[in-house]
Structure 1
């Protein structure tokens, strides 16, 4: 069995949080720019990286952008998110997540990581209430790049190093809930499990090219794929 790198998305795949991320992002912009909280009105965060969201927000407000400002707003967002999550108890772990992670962890020559658009600090803040963050030994994060495929590629390279293998010697399995997850996974040559636990329906995930589409990670076929069947 070939070494396998598992890259799990967070929002909509492992967990769902109501509006904490959006609230924290709007607050960061309001505190810095004095905006009224409407910067991201009618703006979908689904499948986007945090860095791309911040850049889009800055361009909406100022018409231009620079990297130092992106870094500043990302840091402000991460601080606001931690505070917002302390007050927001409306989040849940999706069905099948615990079993899926356990199977991936026990897979011989397997490496369990994250492939997420979240900043690393945001990923930790979101997963810590469930005791999940420390289970992921590596990852690719939204603080590193705006392009999801690049994030996944870097995550896969880190997983390969952890296994002591070249990236080309490993299979990569991306688990996500949006068309962007599907497209980015295929862009790096990975297999993809797509789950309809986020804002997209199964038919939309299939249209993006997903072959393995399930209602959630509790489907018995998901377990079979994770086992290597």
Structure 2
């Protein structure tokens, strides 16, 4: 099986601190004052978030602006430079799940709205980056479900295994993660370890739903059955 993990709310909690790297990047590249608090971010790609933040500041079709990609990719570098002032905590139980899946010879990867360097900045400090050689990231598309075939291709390129959609699981903590899995035709495992409640996730009818990672063996059984 191919098991794709979201990052924020599944592997780690969102960075805690006063620094707004979205604001810093937009100020640097566009000279505009923006704030990450102006938009809802849960379950979205960084590309879509950047587009909305710039549109709110009056820029039409910002993704066609030559500064857009630079501002997007700079998020990770700015975040990495501020890591000493931020706190990123692991989600309880998820590292045990990762190791159990590897013991069971499952292939794991990332499917995240974060850009690659932003994902690395978040995961490297807590020791998670070493686990993930496969992934699809949020600079590539506005539409999260389009990342699933990207991750499947990356898995094939790196392992030689052509996974079928029925053999792919997406583990996420948001309504958008569940919708992403459904739109892409893969299985969803929703875990209420993020900002959206168990009840919110339940309404979306994921294939599997857990309150947290306290029963890792049950999740492993779902994937490996």
Contact 2:76 2:116 in 1 (8 A): no
Q: Counterparts of 1:214-229 in structure 2 under 5 Å? A: 214-219=210-215, 220-226=217-223, 228-229=224-225
Contact 1:196 1:214 in 2 (8 A): yes
Residue 67 of structure 2 corresponds to residue 69 of structure 1: yes
Matches of 1:11 and 1:22 in 2, distance apart? 17
Aligned to 2:196: 200
Aligned to 2:26: 29
- Displacement after TM superposition at 1:164 (Å): 2.2
Residue 154 of structure 2 corresponds to residue 158 of structure 1: yes
Aligned to 1:111: 107
Contact 2:43 2:177 in 1 (8 A): yes
Contact 1:160 1:170 in 2 (8 A): no
**Aligned to 2:83, what secondary structure does the other structure show?**
helix
Give the paired residue count: 222
Contact 2:39 2:53 in 1 (8 A): no
Aligned to 1:84: 82
- Displacement after TM superposition at 1:67 (Å): 5.0
Alignment TM-score, normalising by the size of structure 1:
0.88
Aligned to 1:121: 117
Matches of 1:125 and 1:20 in 2, distance apart? 15
Contact 1:14 1:94 in 2 (8 A): yes
Aligned to 2:209: 213
CA gap 1:67/1:207 in 2 versus in 1, 3 angstroms: farther
Q: Cα RMSD (Å) of the superposition?
A: 2.0
**Aligned to 1:223, what secondary structure does the other structure show?**
helix
Contact 1:28 1:80 in 2 (8 A): yes
Alignment TM-score, normalising by the size of structure 2:
0.90
Contact 2:178 2:206 in 1 (8 A): yes
Task: Deviation per CA, 1:56-76: give whole Å up to 9, x if none.
Answer: 112122331115222011123
Higher strand share: 1
**Aligned to 1:174, what secondary structure does the other structure show?**
strand
Matches of 2:96 and 2:211 in 1, distance apart? 15
Matches of 2:14 and 2:76 in 1, distance apart? 15
